[in-house]
Amino acid sequence: MLGILKQLALMNATRKVLKISSKELAEKINQSLQTAARKLKELEDEGLIERMLYKDGQYIVITEKGKDLLYKEYLDYKRIFEGEDAIILKGRVFGGVGEGAYYVSLEGYRKQFIEKLGFDPYPGTLNLKIPKEQMFFRKRLDQEEGITIEGFSTEDRTFGDVKAFKCRIDGMEGAIVIPQRTHYPADVLEVIAPVKLREHLGLEDGDTVEIEVIL
């Protein structure tokens, strides 16, 4: 299915409404007419394309969801051929309200941190305020897939997914965690590590730190 989406994108269906018959597509992908028609229906059902049928033919455009899927595929190939991708973010340390310790300690999250990030996090987060000139790089994290820490439910409440990115701070391995449901503004990041970063790095409120984020 991804191959069909790629072919449509190569025909500019991400930039314009493309007029193409199932027969034409079948010839492009070297498949039968029935297979091409079925694949288009599957793409439509998945919300990856929008398809309009008129008397004069079939019109197709790739949706934002479809573009996102292609972009993720691009990032995978980029990593395969170019190796590890990383960005440098700078942020200013500030004091939180202690919520990080609670969430990091929840067993539903902690187990996944150990399994997917490779370390048992200290029960707390280092809170960083990202300056305006760094927001371009901060926003890129929203576009990247990251590592999904899945949400879970208890008898009392439901906890949402968390997106994580491995990172390094002054040589110390850690991870940026971005709750998918959060009250924090976009210019705030939380960092976890196997140690209490404030003490390990001798940080105080107002200090600026540099983080190498692995994408």
Residue 98 labeled ligand binder:
yes
Residue 127 labeled ligand binder:
yes
Residue 190 labeled ligand binder:
yes
CB-based contact 13:6 (threshold 8 Å): no
Gap between the Cα atoms of 19 and 13, Å rounded:
9
Residue 173 labeled ligand binder:
no
Residue 117 labeled ligand binder:
no
Residue 198 labeled ligand binder:
yes
Residue 70's identity, in one-letter code, is L
Residue 96 labeled ligand binder:
yes
Residue 197 labeled ligand binder:
yes
CB-based contact 73:1 (threshold 8 Å): no
Strand order in the sheet with 49-54: 18-19, 57-62, 49-54
Residue 171 labeled ligand binder:
no
Query: Residue 162, class by beta-carbon neighbours within 10 Å (0-12 exposed, 13-18 middle, 19+ buried)?
Result: buried
Residue 99 labeled ligand binder:
yes
Show contacts of 6-14: CB within 8 Å, 24+ apart. Answer: 6/70, 6/73, 8/49, 8/60, 8/62, 9/62, 9/70, 13/49, 13/60, 13/61, 13/62, 14/61, 14/62, 14/66, 14/67, 14/70
Gap between the Cα atoms of 49 and 68, Å rounded:
12
Annotated binding residues for CDP, written as ranges, equal: 96-101, 195-198
Annotated binding-site residue numbers? 96-101, 125, 127, 182, 190, 195-198
Instruction: Tell me the binding residues for FMN.
Output: 182, 190
Q: Annotated binding residues for Mg(2+), as ranges?
A: 125, 127
